[in-house]
Structure 1
Amino acid sequence: MATPEEYQIASVPITSHTFNADRSQLAVSLNSNDAQIMSRQGQEWKVTETLSEHDKLITAIDWAPNSNRIVTASQDRNAYVWQQTTDPHTGRTVWKPTLVLLRINRAATHVKWSPLEDKFAVGSGARAIAICSFDPENDWWVSRLLKKPIRSTVLSVDWHPNNVLLAAGSADMKARVFSAYIKDVDKRPAATVWGEKLPFNTICGEYTSPAGGWVHAVGFSPSGNVLAFASHDSSVSIVYPGGPTIINVRMASLPYVSLIWTAEDSLVAAGHDCQPIVFSGSEAGWQVIGSLDDTTAPKSSGGASRFGASGVGRLNSAAFNTFRNADSRGQSSPVSGQTSTGTELMTVHQNTITNVRPYQSQGGSVTKVSTSGVDGKLVIWNVSNVSGGGGLVPRLSGMNIK
């Protein structure tokens, strides 16, 4: 099985990550108020810019590949759109923020550019989704709110390929499909399996988590004709609205918090189980194919990347690793008779995966995906390298629980 590309970006959690169009730059939120833009230098990622405007933790970032704009959303109830401009005083290129009028009174939780990059959606704890478009007269981004019938925090959003429909997962245990049609921005959309007449805030579908769990992640298939959502009850549900047919795949592992489609008949989900799991199927049924991680052997200890320096320097002595693990991972030194890897997971990620994103595509299918996690790692996986039996039991087989 081919080894994934593994980078230790930091020794703190990566809340969100996103790449630019050619994957030469990376924007991350390292569990702080700032967003870092990193550039690939050889086999390492180095910080080149810091985007500082938010007052509280940045919860989500998205980078529009064609317009090269970055949108950040934060717990401070604000969002900013960042665009590269030339500083008239110094002549150097800088990232300039533009204010977004979200009109929400709770934290922003998730953000996603639309396919045409002329608007974006911001989920929030205010039981609302802000659909934002640019107002050239005032040089800012304005929003219209999708509210009814959302009853709790919106945890994730995803756009339909037609640039109008929006899927949302929330803590009221529902996944919904809304119309986010804005008259002055969007062209009238063609009829889809989700409906024909689509005025703003039309509910095109509402689906309940089978066992009543929060809906952490939602995603449209490449055609937009199928919806998948992951719930806190450790399940992934696939919705075919024509029937409607809802296929639920229950797992014995921990819940997933992020998912993406890699083709019309396959998707990758990841979360608290610390490994990306591949699902495949059709309207006749879905099943787990396996894991992108090889969980049969412990990974290298110490947190150092195979493709770059450790996030805390070049020291790699046994004593230094002991102090570092105690500080950043809460791991104590081994007792007599135990190996130093006794509390190391048998996965590449050593903590919850917070994000799964497409990294490389070919012929309409995603061939590589990237993941980031609470362990501060960024990992790039080849979707074709699937090992069987992705689940909790093989992952925990290398742990000593005290």
Structure 2
Amino acid sequence: MSLHSFGLEPLSCHAWNKDRTQIAVSPNNNVVNIYEKKGKDWHKIHELTEHSGRITDGVWKPTLVLVRINRAATCVKWSPLENKFALGSGARLISVCYFEKENDWWLSKHIKKSIRSTVLSLDWHPNNILLAAGSADLHCRIFSTYIKDIEDKPGPTAWGTKMPFGELLLEHKDCGGWVHSVSFSASGDQLAWVAHNSSLTVADAAQGKEVTQLATDLLPLLSVLYVNPTDIVAAGHDCCPYLFTYTGPHALECVKKLDIPKQTSKGSLSAMQHFRNLDKKATEEDNNELETLHQNSIMQLCVVSGEKSKVEKYSSVGLDGAMVIWNFKD
């Protein structure tokens, strides 16, 4: 694994280019900075300032998009074939956008069915049609985004056979908190999500849409990522990734913490000096660093190399202004 710093500002989200030589990061504001790897260092090559509000996910693209929303955009995800993308918002809807060559702009169709609050997270099924969405109404849903003008009629899936645009194929109503992140497995037959009640849940279409929820004693998890058919990595307010495994209904468990403890100076202090520091400032002055690589909440996980069927490396960005590239080993 390797640790990279992009300054002192918190990083709310990031995205890689195709060959992983450039990375776009947002320092928790309305700017996107694009860095290029030169040797061992990252050098800023672009600063995109066209947004007027804080950027929360995805990438910036200077093309007119008619999303038709009257509230903040909260998350965005390109489809696997990159012929459309989905945008969640505070307007209690999802805009599914597709390109219209005639006018050289992106149009959108809205999914509104049953959504009662802000859409917080999105992920695409491998078939480029199904879309998972987590929201602040404590629900996780799967919709069809089939647009007959730009794609062939989809075949049946384990989640359902009827695929008109906006069709609701899954609605889990008891997620226990805001659904911060969702992730399909490589096959698309399983969907994992993390909620603000510190739980991780898997819905399994191959097992009759059976839902298995694991309550953890961790702080709330903010991002989840399938890294192979049975392994799931999740991270959040505990400032480090954790490995979970799912092998079938009611067989979901937390396996281990994925981190190298950060060395601190506390170990070199005598007991007397340690208590003197406590008495002097009423705080553990020499232990103000967490024993993790990230020093604040991890906001987002992304695949760096490999596919969801076998991820080799993944990255994390956090509110400490750092990006870490992790090697995944089974």
Matched, 1:236 2:200: yes
Question: Which deviations, in whole Å up to 9, do the C-alpha atoms of 1:247-300 show, x marking residues without a partner?
Answer: 1111101011111100010111111111111111211401111111134x5358
- Aligned AA (1:250): A
- The 2-side partners of 1:240 and 1:36 are apart by 38
Secondary structure at the counterpart of residue 348 of structure 1 = coil
- Which of 40, 44, 59 is matched with 2:37 structurally? 40
Matched, 1:27 2:24: yes
Partner residue in 1 for 2:131: 166
Q: Relative to structure 2, which stretch is displaced further, 183-192 or 160-169?
A: 183-192
Change (3 A) 1:8 1:363: closer
1:148-167 equivalences in 2 (<5 Å): 148-167=113-132
Matched, 1:126 2:76: no
- Which of 380, 388, 393 is matched with 2:325 structurally? 380
Secondary structure at the counterpart of residue 99 of structure 1 = coil
Question: Which deviations, in whole Å up to 9, do the C-alpha atoms of 1:368-398 show, x marking residues without a partner?
Answer: 110000000000111228xxxxxxxxxxxxx
Matched, 1:14 2:20: no
- The 1-side partners of 2:24 and 2:57 are apart by 10
Change (3 A) 1:335 1:184: farther
**Do the aligned partners of 1:13 and 1:31 also contact (CA within 8 Å) in 2?**
yes
Change (3 A) 1:289 1:102: same
The runs of 5 or more residues in structure 2 that have no matched partner are 267-277
- The 2-side partners of 1:204 and 1:282 are apart by 23
- The 2-side partners of 1:143 and 1:156 are apart by 18
Matched, 1:294 2:255: no
- The 1-side partners of 2:29 and 2:212 are apart by 38
- The 1-side partners of 2:26 and 2:109 are apart by 26
Aligned CA-pair RMSD: 2.0
Partner residue in 1 for 2:314: 369
- The 2-side partners of 1:202 and 1:371 are apart by 33
Partner residue in 2 for 1:85: none
- The 2-side partners of 1:334 and 1:19 are apart by 47
- The 1-side partners of 2:79 and 2:142 are apart by 15
- The 2-side partners of 1:134 and 1:201 are apart by 19
Q: How many residues align?
A: 317
Normalised to the residue count of structure 2, the TM-score between the two structures is 0.91
Normalised to the residue count of structure 1, the TM-score between the two structures is 0.75
- The 2-side partners of 1:279 and 1:339 are apart by 33
- Aligned AA (2:15): T
**Do the aligned partners of 1:209 and 1:231 also contact (CA within 8 Å) in 2?**
no
Secondary structure at the counterpart of residue 324 of structure 2 = strand
Structure 1 position 188, deviation (Å): 1.0
Partner residue in 1 for 2:271: none
- The 2-side partners of 1:177 and 1:374 are apart by 30
Partner residue in 2 for 1:359: 304
> Sequence identity, in percent?
45
Structure 1 position 143, deviation (Å): 0.6
Structure 1 position 56, deviation (Å): 1.5
Structure 1 position 5, deviation (Å): 0.1
Secondary structure at the counterpart of residue 101 of structure 1 = coil
1:95-110 equivalences in 2 (<5 Å): 97-110=62-75
**Do the aligned partners of 1:156 and 1:169 also contact (CA within 8 Å) in 2?**
yes
- The 2-side partners of 1:186 and 1:300 are apart by 59
- Which of 203, 217, 224 is matched with 1:252 structurally? 217
Change (3 A) 1:369 1:335: farther
Change (3 A) 1:179 1:299: farther
Structure 1 runs of 4+ off > 3 angstroms? 297-301, 333-341
Matched, 1:49 2:46: yes
Q: Relative to structure 2, which stretch is displaced further, 181-190 or 229-238?
A: 181-190
1:257-268 equivalences in 2 (<5 Å): 257-268=222-233
- The 2-side partners of 1:299 and 1:276 are apart by 20
1:79-118 equivalences in 2 (<5 Å): 81=61, 97-118=62-83
- Which of 280, 288, 312 is matched with 1:343 structurally? 288
Secondary structure at the counterpart of residue 59 of structure 1 = coil
**Do the aligned partners of 2:98 and 2:107 also contact (CA within 8 Å) in 1?**
yes
Question: Which deviations, in whole Å up to 9, do the C-alpha atoms of 1:333-370 show, x marking residues without a partner?
Answer: 99469765312111111111011011111794001110
- The 2-side partners of 1:334 and 1:36 are apart by 44
Secondary structure at the counterpart of residue 60 of structure 1 = coil
- The 2-side partners of 1:363 and 1:375 are apart by 27
**Do the aligned partners of 2:228 and 2:308 also contact (CA within 8 Å) in 1?**
no
- The 2-side partners of 1:31 and 1:334 are apart by 37
Partner residue in 2 for 1:5: 2
- Aligned AA (2:16): F
- Aligned AA (1:227): L
- The 1-side partners of 2:113 and 2:172 are apart by 15
